[in-house]
Amino acid sequence: MDTTRPSKLPPSDWVARCIQQIRLIDPGLTEEDAADVAQQLLSFERTGAMPPEKAVRFVVSELAGLTPRFERRSPSRLSTTIRLQK
């Protein structure tokens, strides 16, 4: 899990707050499933850099659209991907 985020929030606190937000939006989701989603959001480059509440709202808004896009690759990761494909 990548913990190099601009936020000073410890990963365990970020995940805990994210779980709370996820379960507010989908109360039928189990704690385990919400924790899995929260871990994934933390690991995504874009959502992991956001406060957890904002990350959940962002993903919900993106998933409501026709073409959801919520992970943006940094130039260093993109160049690695291109090199691997050659």
Integer angstrom CA distances of residue 80 from 4, 6, 73, 77: 19, 23, 10, 5
Q: Are 52 and 83 spatial neighbours (Cβ–Cβ below 8 Å)?
A: no
Could you report the per-residue pLDDT of 1-56, keeping only the tens digit for each? Answer: 444 444 579 999 999 999 999 999 999 999 999 999 999 999 999 999 999 999 99
Q: Kindly report the pTM of this predicted structure.
A: 0.69
